[in-house]
Structure 1
Amino acid sequence: MGASGSPETDREVTVCLAGDVMLGRGVDQVLPHPGDPQLAEPWVTDARAYVEMAEAANGPISRPAGYDAPWGDLLEELRATGPDAWVLNLETSVTRAGGFAPGKSVHYRMSPANVPCLASARPDVCVLANNHVLDFGRDGLAETLHSLTRAGLRTAGAGGDAAEAWRPARVVLRPPRSGTGAAPRPGRRLLVFAVGLPSSGIPLDWAATPDRSGIALASAPSPTAAAGLVARMRAARRPGDLVAVSIHWGSNWGYRVPPEHIRFAHDLVDGGADFVHGHSSHHPRPLEVYRGRLILYGCGDLIDDYEGIGGHEQYRDDLRLLYTARLDETTGALRGLRLIPFQARRLTLRRARPRDAQWLRAALTRHGAPFSAALTVGGDGALVLASW
């Protein structure tokens, strides 16, 4: 999205964060160039059925929809914010490949011809270390990487070998300030490391190796895994850099944050991470500010085709969040946080109503009791981290 660079934010870096963006299956079917709708699910064999379920729940959906349609009101929010960096978890393969990955009951893919949909939101980093990027095998992963690279989109967490999968994405934020007449210095950067954990449903054989493509996969959220990531952070970091770790972990439902996830996130912050970006849950999970650093344990879904699927209404997974964090550009410490709520309807995002924002605030503060984060609802309907 480019650096904001205004005088008011001269000493801050603004980062927008979101959880899972799933542009495949039913979403892909309403875009201008839908791919093969065939599915290998136990109960649904055609992706167009998910469009029909969404229409049954909330009304007709225009087809074909514009590339920007799934983002809806979110694009206006991004334009108004003008973040220095914008990071999301892309939870779908981007391929025409067949060959459903064995041992899985749900597979996501979007047509490479619909990549302009993703590009229309101009994300700075698409995280790929998740449990769907290899849904159509390593050939599907290769096409995914090629399609995103060709569109000028940075990725983190997957690659042609382990070195590439573990390599951080690098976003240039702005040149560091220097005195008059001083030689230019390298631009200040945000390094985004991405890692997946088996608890999110990632098969162990999806791990990248020195001679095989795959994702950056840690076997467990252990002190050893944290130490390995910290070593990678320190090797890649140069003076002035900010560092984030994006993690795909945990179950789809429930607010409880496992103690081992808390310890893992704390170890990463203790080792130098400026914030932790967690995802995998279908709804937002509690957040924490630890030693002045932001930890998001589960951002929830942002875009998907789940509207017509029932069974977990108590979690209000129709409500989605865009997280906007303001960080001190020198120390990386959190200066402010806004959570902008949206509601998914007819496969697009609309700003949520004030009462929905209040529902989210109550849920997150109630279930985030072990943490010191206190959320309030501002006059514009955004949730604001008031104190920590």
Structure 2
Amino acid sequence: MEANGGRGTDREVTVCLAGDVMLGRGIDQVLRYPGDPRLAEPWVTDARMYVEMAGTAHGPVPQPVAYEWPWGDLLEELGAEELRAAGPSARVLNLETSVTRSDDFAPDKSVHYRMNPANLQCLAAARPDVCVLANNHVLDFGREGLAETLESLGAAGLRTAGAGRDEAEAWRPAEVVLHLPECSPRTTSDLGPRLLVFSVGLPSSGIPLDWEATPERSGIALASAPSPAAAADLVARMRTARRPGDLVIVSIHWGSNWGYRVPPDHIRFAHDLVDGGADLVHGHSSHHPRPLEVYRGRLILYGCGDLVDDYEGITGHEQYRDDLRLLYTARLDQATGTLRGLRLTPFQARRLSLHRAGLRDAHWLHDALTRHGAPFSTSLTVGSDATLTLAQGKQEV
């Protein structure tokens, strides 16, 4: 999907953002062309067991399901957000799955995600504009698995950022052109401003250090730490790639899977990126939503939580309600990049599909995110349609 719409100081860019999308393992098994179900996990050796656990928790999952099934009600909401958009729109998600038939399980890892390339229509059903790949699962099946992942996504016409055949490709941002649909430009440079999406991973999310792309080796865009030096390096890359009128998103895979605390070095890193010109920081890795912040008029999502996975039936962290998933819809001023509004639409995972959550669940999310977001002076309001809206103090954004 190529973004479209108008330009100018009164125009907006609508960006739909999601956290981790894991279409491998149990999800892959219920699609039309299930891949090899073998796993190298300590306790689960067959991906079909995750389908059984989901069925035990919430009812049997039909097999095979349509490619739209894992997205469920989300697809209708994405269409509605696109209709509501006053200008260009784009969709950005973290694809935390290898797309490969390889059986070269990465050593020293207990969890590996892969989906059969023949099932890529499932990913395409959500029409993502950018799939960010700098995460701790894209090389789960080695560099050959990464090569097949990049080839498969490219052949499907899906833009990627954060992984590549060498360092230059891994760090290259994805470009989404923001232009008027009636324009007939003569050259690419006439297309107008772009949305640039940089993708970077940090070791704190579980990324092995030897996954880093180098001039001679494929891999991901990996920053060694959320340090001032790493922020300065990324800011320099942003400034090199940026043209007048462009907006910049930095998508970061960082931090632990559980808990609401945002480490001080993550806050400092995000602030340094905004100070250096980033218009939005898109953080992910946590399995549940973490607090968010508006800093100097720019949105920082410290942890979006999972969107699609096969975790139903897995116990141990019920206090975080990881069955609740969020779609983040941010409206940015196209001229300045400042945040004009943020809508959070909650869903609940049931039978490996997403269903709109009700008011009770929306209020649970409101209470959790508002309480833990207190250090950032941010709060949320709940609408009658069970969506959440970001507020700054008493003034809604």
Please classify the TM superposition score into its range, dividing by the shorter chain length: over 0.9
Q: CA deviation at 1:2?
A: 4.1
The AA in structure 1 aligned to 2:67 is Y
Give the Cα separation in 1 of the matches to 2:190 and 2:240. Answer: 19
Gaps of at least 5 residues in structure 2 are: 184-188
The equivalent residue for 2:78 is: 78
Q: CA deviation at 1:300?
A: 0.0
The equivalent residue for 2:139 is: 134
* RMSD of aligned Cα (Å): 1.8
Encode CA deviations 1:107-130: one digit per residue, 9 max, x unaligned: 000000000000010000000000
Encode CA deviations 1:217-246: one digit per residue, 9 max, x unaligned: 000000000000000000000000000100
The AA in structure 1 aligned to 2:243 is R
Give the Cα separation in 1 of the matches to 2:4 and 2:142. Answer: 39
The equivalent residue for 2:12 is: 12
Is the Cα–Cα contact under 8 Å of residues 4 and 181 in structure 2 kept in the other structure? no
Q: Residue 156 of structure 2 is aligned with which of 151, 158, 181? A: 151
Matches within 5 A, 1:172-321: 172-175=177-180, 185-321=190-326
Matches within 5 A, 1:347-366: 347-366=352-371
What SS is found at the alignment partner of 2:62? Answer: coil
2:31 is equivalent to residue 31 of structure 1? yes
User: Aligned pair in 2 of structure 1 residues 176, 115: CA closer, same or farther (>3 Å)?
Assistant: closer
Matches within 5 A, 1:52-67: 52-67=52-67
Q: CA deviation at 1:141?
A: 0.1
The equivalent residue for 1:181 is: none
Q: CA deviation at 1:50?
A: 0.2
Q: Residue 102 of structure 1 is aligned with which of 104, 107, 124? A: 107
Give the Cα separation in 2 of the matches to 1:7 and 1:376. Answer: 30
Is the Cα–Cα contact under 8 Å of residues 85 and 173 in structure 1 kept in the other structure? no
TM-score of the aligned structures, taking structure 1 as reference length: 0.96
The AA in structure 1 aligned to 2:68 is D
What SS is found at the alignment partner of 1:87? Answer: strand
Give the Cα separation in 2 of the matches to 1:254 and 1:8. Answer: 41
TM-score of the aligned structures, taking structure 2 as reference length: 0.94
The AA in structure 2 aligned to 1:376 is T
Q: Residue 372 of structure 2 is aligned with which of 364, 367, 370? A: 367
The AA in structure 2 aligned to 1:239 is P
The AA in structure 2 aligned to 1:194 is S
Identity among equivalent positions (%) equals 79
Give the Cα separation in 2 of the matches to 1:136 and 1:89. Answer: 18
Give the Cα separation in 2 of the matches to 1:272 and 1:129. Answer: 21
The AA in structure 2 aligned to 1:265 is A
Gaps of at least 5 residues in structure 1 are: 179-183
4+ runs deviating over 6 angstroms: 6-9
Is the Cα–Cα contact under 8 Å of residues 175 and 188 in structure 1 kept in the other structure? no
Give the Cα separation in 1 of the matches to 2:180 and 2:207. Answer: 38
Give the Cα separation in 2 of the matches to 1:155 and 1:277. Answer: 15
- With 250-259 and 370-379 compared, the bigger mean Cα shift is at 370-379
Give the Cα separation in 1 of the matches to 2:201 and 2:178. Answer: 26
Q: CA deviation at 1:387?
A: 2.5
The AA in structure 1 aligned to 2:242 is R
The equivalent residue for 1:43 is: 43
Give the Cα separation in 1 of the matches to 2:109 and 2:7. Answer: 51
Is the Cα–Cα contact under 8 Å of residues 176 and 188 in structure 1 kept in the other structure? no
The equivalent residue for 2:186 is: none
In the alignment of these two chains, the number of paired residues is 383
Q: Residue 166 of structure 2 is aligned with which of 152, 161, 166? A: 161
